[in-house]
Structure 1
Amino acid sequence: MTRPAARAPRGDLGRTWTVAALVAVALAGWAAIAATPDGFRVASWWPAAGIAVALVALSPLRQAPALGAGIAVATCVANLVGGRELEVAAWFAATNGVAGVVGGLVLKRFRDRVPALTTPDDLLRLALAAFAAGAIVAVGAGAAVRVVLGGEVVETSPLVLCSHAAAILALTPIALARRRGPRQGSDAEAWLQGAVMAVVTVGVFASDQSLALTFAPLPLLVWAALRFSVRMVATELALFALVSTTLTGCGRGPFGQAYAEGDFGPIAAAALTQGYLVCAVVLTLPLAVAIQQRHALLARVSADEELFRRNFTESLVGMLLLGVEGDRLAVVELNDRAVRTLGGDRDALLGRHLDELVAPREPLGPVVQDLVDRRRDGWSAPCSVPGRPGARVEVAVALLSGTGEDAVLSAQVLDVTAEHRTRQRLETAEKLTSATLDTAACIILVTDTEGRIVRVNGATTAITGHEEKDLLGRHVWDTPVSPSATNDIEALFVWPNRSGQPVIRERDLVTRDGRRLRVVWNNNVVRDEDGHATYAVMTGIDVTTERTSAGLVTHLMEASISTALVGVDTRGRITVFNSGAGHLLGADPHDMVGRAFADLLDPAQLRERTGTEDAERSFAALVRAVGADGESGARDWTWVSRGGQRRVVSMTVSATEDAFGEHVGYLVVGRDVTEQRASQELLVAALEKERHAVERLQALDDAKNEFVSTVSHELRTPVTSVVGYTEMLQDGSLVEPVPAQLPLLDSIARNGQRLIALCDDLLALSGLDAGTTQWRREEVDLAAVLPAVEESVRPLVAGRRLDVAWDAPSGPVPVTGDRAQLERVLLNLVGNAVKFTEDGGSVTCRVRREGGEAVLEVADTGIGIPSAEQDGLFQKFFRSTTAQKRAIQGTGLGLSIVAAIVAAHGGRIAVDSEHLAGTTFTVHLPLAA
């Protein structure tokens, strides 16, 4: 396989060589023009193109613009010296400058590198550079001939393309093949080939004949490509091109003679010559490059083979060459180290199968097939050695070459017996250490001699919340779990007298979630057999609960609290007596320890409840009340202080156990409830009095409702008679009234109607309060209720400048309820709106569906209701201050009746109003199912 060419170093020809190359461009161009036959508008051979492209390719990238300008100047000078006009010279100069830069940059891959002819890719770039440069000049030359000389582009451009491309292909490789490559031929063969090539070239191109002998130099060029270096082939091609082109231009050789005899035109003859040169280059140069690559590859293969043989025989690792026999590997060759590693002698091991010499954990058959079929790059595994009981080897197998039965594989065998035994001991010790660390219910940190954490047990994460990955590798004093200060930790490794002497510290630790723990640290170092410190082990025990509990108990016992806490042993003797109990009984807690607990209680009460006055027996009877849950219910007891003062104490008794579950005593918790019990007795008496007062109020309310109902019934009958007789007097049924009497009769009728309406409201409100109102349940269409209400309201707006609008829906709005009561709701709301809206205002009544509800909305532009008074709007006899100030008549019962009717129908009512800004009442009722 061909290796990619190494990147060539960046080059710089230097100023001298650059100037020399530009001079060569000028001289080569002048010579080409001078050698151009008469009748040619352009040169048939332009060697300056090859020199220009080589110059740009071998120079730094930054110099490309300057070199292009230099090439243009040199070309212009050559054309002027050659006798061409300035305008033509300028055209050719510009195109040759651009072509030289483009061709050189294509060879450089448009990067700052020096190209070389070592791979087929380099040849492809050379061909692309020649074509690109030739095409650019062909376009420019054709334009010049067309514009300046008036010639045909088709006659000129092909010749220019061939002349420049052939020159680049023939001359540029000399500059690119700068290193002398490997060759097979000797110097004598080289001289012989060169002489024969010269004779044949001159014989073919110097004679006056037109025979097809142009093939004769080609085998000699192939001879050079097969036997000699690329540099020599490139040089020979350049000389061949120079000689053949020059002789052809003089009318000699096959192409020149054909032109002289009229077989070809001048342009065709010149183009044919350059095409012949291109074919010679394409035939010879790739072959030379391929042969050079082959020599280089063979040299590397030979070197690699020699290196492999040395590595194989002199390797410190056992090496085997293996052949394929079915799905098994047979030993073809092995070195001395492999013989010693596998056990036995060379002759006995040769030809045996690998799976007989080593015992892997997996069968080798599938592995061999994967390696041979190149589905796996290699295989390695630890194996035991049947020839050496107890030995362990590491085997690695890889494919060297070939496939199938012809595959050759290599195996490396490394004796790891000592390492295996050591690893087993270390793994055992590591497992023991890990088990010890992981089962310890305390924080354990292991650090190296620099204080960096190398091991953390699982309990550390469980207690502190800090993950192992967040602690490993950090200095222990830089972590939140540091057991002490930096200097104290460093002293573990420095002070010899601390060897084996643990250092105990108590320190606060902050967990990951911000909790503060109290930890007791025990720090010590581990030393090797020479007494040098190797590790530090830091063990922390969380004593937060113990310290908190101890502090809490101490604080609880000494705190000035009102709760009495008394610890009692199993014989009824006081062991703990807190300050609360001391304040309760006026005694010193220290003096109470050791006394019988029964002495604190009222003797008469104790004898009454336990049946004995003996301290131990009465206490035994007392604690029998402790239930299965270990605690008795709260019960009031009378405690007697030293001064004889009696206090009522709510007391519970609970059993206490030690850490092993053994019963050790009792805890008595008492709370002074003397004042509370006295207050409860007063409260009970007050509640009893309040109950009697509520019963009396209820009776009065019932009497009031009955009185209102009776009075309303009794009042409505005579008022109805008065109104009826008044109507008879008004219409003249009895006697024709005097005109002066009509206003008086109208006033009597109007006030009678007001009394009737008031009686109706009182009766309705009384029925609603007493719950005696009879409700009908039927389907009522609210849209059909509007006309009846409109008819009832019409007398109220007669003679007034008031705009009353009725907005009925297009379809029915059915609800379930009492039609008369619903009409009363709508009539009361519309009547209020008309009454409280001044002339010039408006009242709107709407009925609509909204979701699953029927909505009644009555809006007006009247005097409104102040916000502060709206909370009492639906209470009985409520009238706003605005209505009172304006002396608007009313009883204040209408809205309370409306609210009661709406609530009885399962609805709700809302008001939106402001003072002097109008009022909107909205009633929501559920639609009928």
Structure 2
Amino acid sequence: MHETDRVSTGPTSGDVRAPSWRTLLLLLVGVYVAGRGAVFFKPDGFPITTFWPATAFCVATFALSPARRWPALAPAVFVVSVLASVTGGRAWDLSIGFGVTNTVEAGVAALLLTSAGRRAARLASQEDFLRLLATALVAAAVLSLSAASVVRLLGAGDFSATVESTFASHVAALMTLLPLLLVLGDEPRPPRRGVELAAQVSVLVATTVLVFAFQQTAPIAIAPVVALSWAALRLGLPVLTAELGIFAVVASLLTAHGQGPFATALAGSDLRPLLAAALGQGFLACAALLVLPLCIAAERNAALVERITSDSLLFRRNFTESLVGMAFVEPAASGRELVVVELNDTAAGVLGGTEDDLVGRRLGDLVELGPDYHAALPRLLRGTQHGWRTEAPLRPPREGRVDLLLSPLSEPGSTPFFAVQLLDVTTAYTARRALEVAQKLTNATLDTTNCIILVTDLEGVVVRVNAATEQITGYTEAELLGRQVWDTGIAPPEARDLRALLDWLDDSDRTASHEADAVTRSGQALRIVWNSDVVRDELGRPSYAVMTGMDVTDERTTTGLVDHLMEASQSTAIIGIDTAGRISVVNSGTAHLLGYEREELVGVPFHRLLKPTELLERTGAESVEDAFDILVRGLGRDGETQARDWTWLTRTAGEQLVSMTLSVAQDSLTARTGYLCVARDVTEQRHSQEVLIAALDKERDAVDRLRSLDQAKNEFVSTVSHELRTPVTSIVGYTEMLRDGSIVEPLPDQVPLLDSIGRNGQRLIAMINDLLMLSGLDARTVHWRHDPVDLAATLTSVEDAVRPLVGRRRLALDVRRPADAVPVLGDRAQLERVMVNLLSNAVKFTEDGGTVTLEMGVEAGEAVVRVRDTGIGIPVAEQGALFERFFRSTTAQSRQIQGTGLGLSIVSAIVSAHGGSIEVESAHLEGSVFTVRLPLADLGPSRSAGSRVVEPAG
């Protein structure tokens, strides 16, 4: 039933579905089956059936098809009806008569049901049901009268009995079976819940069996109608029509065979079959009258509720998913402000918060609405003003700007309720401000550009002038605006040519350049270079002309000065060369230097001025013609060669030594236009330089000899130190063995001697180690670690190393530890050596009764180690050489204090290799302060420890 295609039937109230031919075949089969099976509805001994289901299929065959098919369907319905009657046991003449009446009935019913083919046969509204009822009554009346006439004509039965039986049976068949066929042709409905359907069907079957399956007369025939009403209210039209059709078939069949209340009530009467059938069919028609309108009303109400729900859901979705911020506001308790009661996500995003944060907030607390809002609010609340709009910034801490529209939603006289639309215009506002700034920038640019700018329309009338025009020409803006540009004193006197220029620009995308004289307001003559172009609109049409005039009066004056310079210079050669390598310009100095006339050199290849052998040797070219290209190809980034001595050939084939530079000549667009050669005679200067170079070579030889001697000295010291280390170490070792009694117990008088030998041996080892250290620093082979080191953590080992030097002396050693870590990067052993050497020197050069102090801390982002002593000090005049090797102050030498003078030079090298510095503050007999500064290090987990070669600086 659902295999249909839609056809247009012209201006109709609805579309008529055209069922497929397979559907039509099924309907015709239904006509035959229903007509053939009508014999089951004929009571025993009664000539007429009491129920005729075939009429519903006949009417459906016509009603469900477009009117254009009816002429073809009528013969088919007639033939099938005749065959059904003949095979059901009727005579041929009677069967043909009933075939004609069935076809006529179906045609009449289809005309009424479809309004003569102008509308679709449906059962979707109460109007459709009324049309169905009218169709059933009229069609049944036509059929009953036609059938009775046929029966009487053929003498097959009584006229009135035929009318009564056929009218009731056809009305019931059309009211109970035709709705099912109409509904089956509609769109599929959503399935109902199976549990409720099973329960309802069970009730319907039980009541049908109870009422019609037994011979009883109890007035309970209404019970199945109650079950059908259940289906009408809850299960929908498809289920109801199906159950109604089945119920009609079952009830008619049982009544025809003497079951049910109608047959039982008329038992024993001659009219029992006819009356029982009429009552039963009337009961079915009444049941259809009750349940079909009820079901249609229920479905319409359900559809209306679904539509309302859908519209509500659609509104809610449009509200929540709208790209425009929307909010609902209502008056606060004070009535002086509007508060937010609901808003969508877009509005929350525009206002910069969440729904929970914003609901209940006053609108004025979210947006800076200004005094206009407070003035309009009373009118909005009274309903005398319909809507209010503004563009305002959001209140801090929110940032942005919104376009806000406030609209009332409530009716006048009811509680005020408003909708707020919020549009984020931050980007547009920013763009507008940027456009304003750009306009101001353009105006500022025009007013600050130091050239004449005139904007004219296409007729040459001045519409805009910049400030520089007045400064250059003396004409004010008021004097120029509204005048044609060629009528001003600024424009060239050839006004016609200028008009032609504007006309030319009107049809071209190119700019025009023109140089002419202009006269200022005071009568001063100017040389102006004009550049003109047009401004086009968005469609590409010219709208304005822009004329930019550059004052080149000074430039032309400068050009004259340059020309004068070219003529006046006698000691310097200036040559202009084109891109092909030919001389284009020469000054008088070139002619004076080489003996040529200036005109003789113009057009001559530049390489002819150079000594060929020298040119080929320096450029590596195979010919002098290619040498110039190689020469200019070597110009540096700045487009100029370094000054270099070249040999030029004079007119008399002589040679002239000059210092020459070659540079690129470029125009304002940085396009290479040629080259400029500048040369000067350096013959005498080079002779003087050769003499000076000879003297410098002698001095260099002397320095090289001294450096070699110094290297030999270093190698000697390193070799001697290595050679001395082994025997001295043996002496110290054997002395220790003798002193400890490992070989033989020493005599008491020998112990001081052995102590002296060991002490002096240790001094020799320390001296050798210092020499080897300095030798390694010179050769840059010392490998130091580069680890995170806490200087504060080294103080214990440093103090332990220096404390024995104090011994029994009356000397105060104070090591002050910092409260926090002092992190640096470096070699821990070498850093400890720095502090040990400084403390050792302080102890050595401080007399008994003095004080030696070590302080450590962080100052100005640096690690600082400071060693103070109250010793003999260092003369100020000698402090410049303090960190040189083998240096010993005169004070130490006069007091015969032992030492090699290597300690401080080693300290200085270690500190420098760690990126630090060392300073000294001292004076003769006033003590000393040595301060070491090292860069702090970040000892975080990202720093990885390791070792690398730390090369000492110096």
- Please indicate the TM-score interval, normalised by the length of the shorter structure: 0.3 to 0.5
TM-score (norm 2): 0.40
